[in-house]
Amino acid sequence: MRTAKAKARAVEFAEAEILRKREEKVKRKEDLDRAINAFVRKWNKKRDREEAATEANRAKKYAVKLRALADRSGDKDRKIAAAAAENAKAAARRATKARKIQE
């Protein structure tokens, strides 16, 4: 009688242990997936910030060049270049604002 109870307990314990190990494996996989997703999200946010900064700098440089062109050119060209420079400056401000919002 004692050995039968001991065998039953051993089988029950072994089944519980197998179930526990299986649950741990699933939990480890979920933790790994969560960590990977967090890393990718952070990486993408950083890349977007860098791209926004680059775009803002490019727009600022373009606005300066257009402003210089407007100063040198004729009256009609000056108005067109001044408007383009204003548009470029506005684009630079929007890019900077978007970058600040993302942070």
Tens of pLDDT, residue by residue, the chain (103 residues): 578 888 889 999 999 999 999 999 999 999 999 999 999 999 988 888 888 778 777 877 877 777 777 667 666 666 777 777 777 777 777 777 766 665 5
Per DSSP, the residues of the chain read -HHHHHHHHHHHHHHHHHHHHHHHHHHHHHHHHHHHHHHHHHHHHHHHHHHHHHHHHHHHHHHHHHHHHHHHS-HHHHHHHHHHHHHHHHHHHHHHHHHHHH-
pTM: 0.50
